[in-house]
Amino acid sequence: PETPIGTGYMIPYALVPIETIPLTPNGKIDRRALSQLSVISYQLSEDTFVAPRTPEEELLAGIWAEVLGVEKVG
Protein backbone atom coordinates (compact mmCIF):
# COMPACT_ATOMS: atom_id res chain seq x y z
CA PRO A 1 0.00 0.00 0.00
CA GLU A 2 1.05 3.54 -0.61
CA THR A 3 2.09 5.71 2.29
CA PRO A 4 0.07 8.94 2.47
CA ILE A 5 2.10 11.95 1.42
CA GLY A 6 4.02 13.44 4.30
CA THR A 7 3.67 10.61 6.80
CA GLY A 8 6.72 8.49 5.93
CA TYR A 9 9.20 10.90 7.47
CA MET A 10 6.97 11.48 10.48
CA ILE A 11 6.96 7.87 11.69
CA PRO A 12 9.64 7.42 14.37
CA TYR A 13 12.33 4.79 13.80
CA ALA A 14 13.45 4.69 17.41
CA LEU A 15 12.17 5.39 20.90
CA VAL A 16 14.10 6.94 23.77
CA PRO A 17 12.55 6.33 27.18
CA ILE A 18 13.16 9.25 29.54
CA GLU A 19 11.79 10.12 32.95
CA THR A 20 11.80 13.88 32.44
CA ILE A 21 12.31 16.19 29.49
CA PRO A 22 15.50 18.22 29.94
CA LEU A 23 14.86 21.95 30.13
CA THR A 24 17.03 25.01 29.62
CA PRO A 25 17.38 27.57 32.43
CA ASN A 26 14.58 29.49 30.66
CA GLY A 27 12.21 26.52 30.96
CA LYS A 28 12.27 25.57 27.29
CA ILE A 29 13.02 22.07 25.99
CA ASP A 30 16.79 21.56 25.85
CA ARG A 31 17.15 20.12 22.35
CA ARG A 32 20.92 19.79 22.69
CA ALA A 33 20.53 17.61 25.79
CA LEU A 34 17.85 15.54 24.03
CA SER A 35 20.17 14.89 21.09
CA GLN A 36 22.77 13.46 23.49
CA LEU A 37 20.44 10.75 24.84
CA SER A 38 21.02 7.13 23.84
CA VAL A 39 18.67 5.83 21.17
CA ILE A 40 17.13 2.40 21.55
CA SER A 41 16.43 1.15 18.06
CA TYR A 42 13.57 -1.30 17.78
CA GLN A 43 13.21 -2.96 14.43
CA LEU A 44 9.86 -4.58 13.84
CA SER A 45 9.71 -8.05 12.39
CA GLU A 46 7.18 -10.82 12.05
CA ASP A 47 8.50 -12.25 15.34
CA THR A 48 7.66 -9.07 17.27
CA PHE A 49 4.23 -8.42 15.75
CA VAL A 50 1.33 -9.01 18.12
CA ALA A 51 -2.05 -9.10 16.41
CA PRO A 52 -5.03 -7.29 17.93
CA ARG A 53 -6.77 -9.56 20.46
CA THR A 54 -10.10 -7.88 21.10
CA PRO A 55 -12.72 -6.25 18.88
CA GLU A 56 -11.68 -2.87 20.30
CA GLU A 57 -8.01 -3.50 19.46
CA GLU A 58 -9.01 -4.64 15.96
CA LEU A 59 -10.98 -1.43 15.44
CA LEU A 60 -8.13 0.78 16.66
CA ALA A 61 -5.53 -1.18 14.67
CA GLY A 62 -7.64 -0.76 11.54
CA ILE A 63 -7.90 2.98 12.08
CA TRP A 64 -4.13 3.34 12.67
CA ALA A 65 -3.31 1.15 9.67
CA GLU A 66 -5.44 3.40 7.46
CA VAL A 67 -4.00 6.61 8.90
CA LEU A 68 -0.40 5.40 8.62
CA GLY A 69 -0.90 3.71 5.26
CA VAL A 70 0.40 0.34 6.44
CA GLU A 71 -1.03 -3.17 6.30
CA LYS A 72 -0.61 -4.27 9.91
CA VAL A 73 -0.71 -2.50 13.24
CA GLY A 74 -0.34 -4.48 16.43
The three-class DSSP label of residue 30 is coil
| Residue 46 is assigned to a structural domain of this protein | yes
Host H or E run for residue 15: strand 14-15
- pLDDT per position as a tens digit, 23-74: 999 999 999 988 887 766 555 555 677 889 999 999 999 998 888 788 888 7
Contact (Cβ atoms closer than 8 angstroms) between residue 6 and residue 67:
no
53 contacts: CB under 8 Å, gap ≥ 6: none
The total of structural domains in the chain comes to 1
- Parent domain of 42: 10-68
| Residue 20 is assigned to a structural domain of this protein | yes
| Residue 39 is assigned to a structural domain of this protein | yes
- How confident is the model at residue 72, as a pLDDT? 81
pTM, 2 dp: 0.42
Measure the CA–CA gap between 5 and 60, rounded to whole angstroms.
21
| Residue 62 is assigned to a structural domain of this protein | yes
| Residue 60 is assigned to a structural domain of this protein | yes
